[in-house]
Amino acid sequence: MSKSTLNEAVLSQLLDLMRNGQLQRCVEMGVEPEVLGQIQHPTVLSLLRNTPVSWVNVSINSSMILKLLTGAARTEEETRLIERAIRLGATTSLLGKFFGLTPQEIALQRTVIGVRAPRGRWPELSEDQDHHIWHRWTKLMDEHRVELEDSLAMLDVAMLVAEELSTDGLTLAQIWSRITQWVEQGLYPGSSERSRVTERRQLTLLDEGGLRHVDESGTASIHPGEGDQRR
């Protein structure tokens, strides 16, 4: 945009604001009150409109643009996450806890995507279902290196489990409830304890020509080396 075009665009905006009585907005744009008193005079208008000198400075706040773009992407991702959770059978309380949605907003979301709200009590999990949830949850927690303190990452893992076990009629609400019970009971070790278990599993000691493996219980087992093989 040329200097004259930019001057013309800002001048038109100022005049429009003044006609609508938005004088404070003109001041906020950087125009002094005494200038506003003269700006509608034909001679002043002609001077401001036709001068080759730019009297408008435009700057781009790149950091703000990046923040806005990041915020928009985050909003889209959050929207997809909410829809995914609803389709997998998340309860109103679960959606409110993680995404701050009101019951009315959740009801509208369900209506839009055609999902009915869960009603009544959940059926008791069978022993097989309980086993499957535990097996898949712990495996995915380890694979994705999710910490118990990262509740949103844990919810994502729970949704993966729900998607895998949806054919068994299990919902995200049931799976999340069971997972939180296990965590509260301390049945799933924290990251520091898992690290110690991994170290114990990998610890090997050379002993008399063989390898001594130390398992989780601390019991050493001797695996004969080449020199101990029966000839």
| 3-class DSSP assignment, residue 169 | coil
The answer to whether residue 24 is domain-embedded is: yes
How high is the pLDDT of residue 4?
A: 73
- Are the C-beta atoms of 15 and 9 separated by less than 8 Å? no
Question: Please, which pLDDT band fits residue 6 given cuts at 50, 70 and 90?
Answer: confident
The pair phi, psi for residue 213, each rounded to 5°, is -100, 130
Identify the sign of the CA torsion 48, 49, 54, 55. positive
**Residue 76 shares a structural domain with residue 107:** yes
Q: Mean pLDDT, to the nearest integer, of 183-196?
A: 68
With residue 43 as reference, give the H or E element that holds it: helix 42-50
pLDDT tens, residue by residue, 44-71? 888 988 888 888 888 888 887 887 787 6
Residue 122's nearest CA partner among 97, 74, 89 is 89
Average pLDDT, the chain: 80
| Lowest pLDDT segment from 66-75, 84-93, 177-186 | 66-75
The answer to whether residue 208 is domain-embedded is: no
The answer to whether residue 230 is domain-embedded is: no
**Residue 104 shares a structural domain with residue 148:** no
| Lowest pLDDT segment from 37-51, 118-132, 183-197 | 183-197
In total, the chain counts a number of residues equal to 231
Torsion of CA 212, 216, 218, 219, to 10 degrees: -60
Structural domain range at position 178: 127-188
Q: Mean pLDDT, to the nearest integer, of 136-160?
A: 93
**Cα distance between residue 211 and residue 220, in whole Å:** 10
The domain tally of the chain equals 3
- CB neighbours of 193 closer than 8 A, spacing ≥ 6? none
**Residue 16 shares a structural domain with residue 40:** yes
- Are the C-beta atoms of 197 and 211 separated by less than 8 Å? no
